Structure 1
Amino acid sequence: MPPASRPKSVTLQDVARSAGVSPMTASRALSSPELVSQGTIEKVRAAVEATGYIPNLLAGGLKSKRSMTVAALVPVISVPQFLPTIQTLTEELDRAGYQLILGQTGYDHGREAALLNTMVGRRVDGIVAAGLLQPGDAAKRLARLGIPVVETWDMTDRPLDTLVGFSHLKVGSAVAGYFLSKGWQRVGLATADDQRAGLRREGFVSTLGREIPTATVKPPTGVPHGRRALTELLHIDPQLRAVFCSSDGLAEGVLTEAQARGIRVPEDLAVFGFGGADFSAHLNPSLSTVHIDGAAIGLHAAQLIIARCRGETVDQRIIDVGFRIIERASTSSPPR
């Protein structure tokens, strides 16, 4: 649209003129309604509706030094395991008057740093990250400016600020213990090559006490990656008995490839996932997995970031939500 034909922005003065009040009274009716009469509030709101006025939140934020926005960074928006966290985080922030800005890092450290710098430039009040933020200039800037940060979906004893998560090392070790309890010896691993999946692999292999066939794929992982991973694992060991997958999506692909090859699950091959995605219970056979309470992570993260944004003291800086192993048909002993 040419500049000359652009519609003129409606200002607070236009609203005040339409309501028959002063600009100061109109401003108070919108930002501090307790200071004016109910009749004035109704007149100003009617004027807002009639004129199509949109308040300049940035200008208000510059005055109060608060933007009432929180940024959330996730590796990939479409990954099912992060969705309950983002949904709960959004709902809890909304109840407290904050809006969420979502950014996707794509498992790229450079992209993460660029997003952090952009969010700081946008004057967000706080940042929630799925995973641990990478050390570097961007993270140092957050600490220097005192911007509240909640790291999630991981565990460390030295978070940048606060943390809600669990140990991926312990997840891998627990799954290995489950495999050992079943007596499975010829086992393999289908895993993404990101940092958190690497920790699960480390815990799994360490508890088993030996190296195992491993198929590594690029995240985000899904059915095609799982099919290729099982093909690779069977090429390494045609007598493979069980597979631990770094995501439920990857495990779904392993199940699909097994069925295409006529391999029975769990009679011939046991398949185990990670993440506790909703669809895992509805696959055929249903998928054994490590369940993570993503909604609880979102709730705790919201409570921490709201408290920190308000300048309140946080007694518990690190919250471990733990995890649960859920056994389903894909690893259970078949009936006689």
Structure 2
Amino acid sequence: MRDVSRLAGVSQMTVSRVLADPDLVSEATRLRVMKAIEQLGYVPDRVAGSLSSRRTNFVTAILPTLTNSNFADTAQGLAEALRPADYQLLIGYTMYKLAEEERIIRAMLSRRPDAIVVAGMVHTKPASEMLLRAGIPIVEIWDVPDKPIDHAVGFSNFEVGRAAARHLLSLGHRRIGAIGSRTDGEAIDLRGESRLAGFASVLREAGIGDELIVREGTAPVSHDHGAQTISILLERAPDVEAVFAVSDISAFGALMECHRRGIKVPADLSLMGFGDFDIARQCVPAITTIRVDAAQIGRLTGEMLVRLFNEEGGAADLQPSTIDVGFTLVPRQTTAPAVLEAGLS
């Protein structure tokens, strides 16, 4: 900063004002200082500045993965909403492991973020305690917990599953299954499991068993997972009429396996997924799915945080504490009404 002040011909205090509150400095002085900063390649020490301001100007986002385009869209929406307020995004990913989430939370808190955004509402006990005691805004995303740690922006994965089951039932299907990943390993897709739980609840309400819900493999799901898991389902119930996959990714794998087996979709079997991924829109036939605006989740979270940061102390309650973005069922070509057996009405 001393070098910048000498080159620009101003005091160090003026350089500090240009960086912290440029509106207090004349345009000519600001441009002279910024030119000196550019010439010297000076990078302000945000950590040193945070010792007095108690702000680090970065937000931590903890996501299951970045290979899933929906989570990537959420991160982008969050970053875009934070950028005008000069907040940067620091991302950690858990690989669907609660123990890894706990480790990341501990590591990130040691770097003093101004807020933490975390996907999901289920955490280890130590992780929950750290978040509760953090003294900064915490936003749980991609779900709507009954009792959020602080704030939440998302939708009900349980209701997504219920909507999927109701759709397949409305088409007249009765031999209905679903495919997801196992829940007895280290990596668990808790949101996918919540969808399956909602799906099963509607089947039971309709007097249909949930024994055709197959959980196989570990999170995250893949095209291979969809192919392998629907193979297990078809071996167990060759007469299955309709299948819900917890993700379009596994739904696409299941669709390809049906093609290989000569099973016509939707004439022989209706299939639907979740997420409205590009591949679901572009494959043939296009996959019936449930759409969530992933980027909107990020934008709304960022806007919520900026408002919180502008409140006195940065931790005031913001109402409502939970924002439900909802979801939309998108019927496409992989689902169709059940075909009645000849002679039946």
Taking structure 1 as the reference length, the TM-score comes to: 0.91
Deviation, structure 1 residue 333: 4.5
Q: Aligned pair 1:330/2:330, yes or no?
A: no
Aligned counterpart, 1:60: 49
2:290 maps to 290
Deviation at 1:300, TM superposition (A): 1.9
| CA–CA distance in structure 2, aligned partners of residues 89 and 71 of structure 1 | 10
Q: 1:293 to 1:32 in 2, by over 3 A?
A: closer
| Superposed displacement of residue 84, structure 1 | 2.5
How far, CA to CA, are the matches of 2:190 and 2:22 in structure 1? 50
Deviations 1:85-108 (A, max 9, x none): 222111011122211111101111
Deviation of 1:234 after TM superposition, in Å, equals: 1.2
Matched residue, 2:115? 126
Residue 253, structure 1, aligned to residue 253, structure 2? yes
- Map 1:173-184 to 2 at 5 A: 173-184=162-173
- SS of 1:70's partner is strand
Are residues 1:212 and 2:211 paired? yes
Could you tell me how far apart the structure 2 residues matched to 1:217 and 1:48 are? 53
**What letter matches 1:331 in structure 2?**
T
Pair 1:80–1:322, CA change in 2 (3 A): same
Q: CA deviation at 1:161?
A: 0.2
3-state SS, counterpart of residue 217 of structure 1: coil
Q: CA deviation at 1:325?
A: 1.2
Return closer, same or farther for 1:212/1:28 CA change in 2, 3 Å cut-off. Answer: same
Question: Residue in 2 aligned with 1:79?
Answer: 68
1:266–1:334 contact (8 Å) kept in structure 2:
no
1:273 partnered with 2:273: yes
Match of 2:36? 47
Q: CA deviation at 1:133?
A: 4.6
CA contact under 8 A between 1:188 and 1:242: conserved in structure 2? Answer: yes
C-alpha distance in structure 1 between counterparts of 2:18 and 2:70, whole Å: 43
Corresponding position of 1:4: none
Shift of 1:252: 0.5
Q: Which residue matches 2:308?
A: 308
Question: SS of the counterpart of 2:117?
Answer: strand
Q: 1:211 to 1:36 in 2, by over 3 A?
A: closer
Contact kept, 8 Å, 1:186 with 1:242, in 2: the verdict is: yes
Question: Which of 315-324 and 283-292 deviates more?
Answer: 315-324
Question: For 1:269-320, what per-residue CA distance to the aligned partner results, in whole angstroms no more than 9, with x for missing partners?
Answer: 1111011223311111000011112122222211222222333541200112
Deviation at 1:240, TM superposition (A): 2.1
Provide the secondary structure at the position in 1 that maps to 2:42. coil
Deviations 1:207-242 (A, max 9, x none): 112122214221111111111111111111122221
Could you tell me how far apart the structure 2 residues matched to 1:246 and 1:286 are?
Answer: 16
| d(CA) in 2 for partners of 1:309, 1:32 | 16
Q: Which runs of 5+ in 2 are unaligned?
A: 183-188, 340-345
RMSD: 1.8
Residue of structure 1 in register with 2:343 after alignment: none
- 2:97 is matched by which residue type in structure 1? D
Paired residues of 1:66 and 1:125 also in contact (CA < 8 A): yes
- Higher mean displacement: 241-250 or 38-47: 38-47
Q: Give 1:7's aligned residue.
A: none
CA gap 1:133/1:304 in 2 versus in 1, 3 angstroms: farther
Q: Please state how far the C-alpha of 1:14 moved relative to its aligned partner.
A: 1.5
Per the alignment, in what secondary structure is the counterpart of residue 129 of structure 1? strand
Give, in whole Å, the separation in 1 of the partners of 2:252 and 2:26.
61
Q: What SS class does the counterpart of residue 143 from structure 2 fall into?
A: coil
Give the CA deviation at 1:111. Answer: 0.7
Cα distance in 1 for partners of 2:23, 2:164 equals 57
1:248–1:289 Cα contact (<8 Å) kept? yes
Residues 205, 212 of structure 1: 8 Å contact kept: no
SS at structure 1 position matched to 2:43: coil
Deviates more, 1:22-31 or 1:155-164: 22-31
Distance of 1:76 and 1:332 partners within structure 2 = 33
Q: Which residue of 1 aligns with 2:84?
A: 95
Asked whether the 8 Å contact 1:168–1:200 carries over to 2, the reply is yes
Deviation at 1:145, TM superposition (A): 3.0
SS of 2:216's equivalent in the other structure is strand
TM-score w.r.t. length of structure 2:
0.89
Q: Is 1:197–2:192 an aligned residue pair?
A: yes
Residue from 136, 139, 149 that aligns with 1:150: 139
Q: Distance in 1 between matches of 2:95 and 2:47?
A: 28
For residue 35 of structure 1, report the CA deviation from its aligned partner: 3.3
CA contact (8 A) 2:99 2:124 kept: no
Question: Pick from 5, 8, 15: which aligns with 1:26?
Answer: 15
Partner of 2:185: none
Deviations 1:37-83 (A, max 9, x none): 33332322222122111111111122210111111111111112223
* Residues 98-130 of structure 1, C-alpha deviations (whole Å, 9 max, x = no match): 111111011111110111111111111001112
Q: Return the alpha-carbon distance in structure 2 between the equivalents of residues 116 and 243 of structure 1.
A: 37
Relative to 1, partners in 2 of residues 1:38 and 1:165: Cα closer, same or farther, differing over 3 Å?
closer
Asked if 1 retains the 8 angstrom alpha-carbon contact of 2:224 and 2:253, the reply is: yes
